[in-house]
Amino acid sequence: MKIIIDSAGKIAALAAQQYVDLLKRKPNAILGGATGSTPLGLYAELVRLNKAGEISFKDASSFNLDEYVGLDGTHDQSYRYFMDHNLFDHIDIDKSRTRVPSGIDVSDPSAYDKEIAAAGGVDLQLLGIGNNGHIGFNEPGTPFGSLTHVVELTESTRDANKRFFKSIDEVPTHAVTMGVKTVMQARSIILMAIGPAKAPIMKEMLQGPVTEKVPASVLQLHPDVTVYMDFEAAKLL
Interface positions with ligand PGA (CB under 6 A): 36-38, 128-130
Q: How far apart are CA 128 and CA 174, in angstroms?
A: 19
Q: How far apart are CA 177 and CA 46, in angstroms?
A: 24
- Reading phi first (left if > 0) and then psi (alpha if -120 to 50, else beta), residue 164 is in alpha
- Angle separating helix axes 40-51 and 8-25, nearest 10 degrees: 50
3-class secondary structure, 44? helix
Catalytically active residues are: 66, 132, 134, 139
Which is closer to ligand PGA, CB of 35 or CB of 61? 35
CB of 37 to ligand PGA, least distance (A): 4
CB of 94 to ligand PGA, least distance (A): 26
Which is closer to ligand PGA, CB of 103 or CB of 130? 130
CA 5 to chain centre: 19
3-class secondary structure, 139? coil
CB of 135 to ligand PGA, least distance (A): 7
CB of 182 to ligand PGA, least distance (A): 15
CA 154 to chain centre: 18
Which is closer to ligand PGA, CB of 38 or CB of 146? 38
Which is closer to ligand PGA, CB of 23 or CB of 47? 47
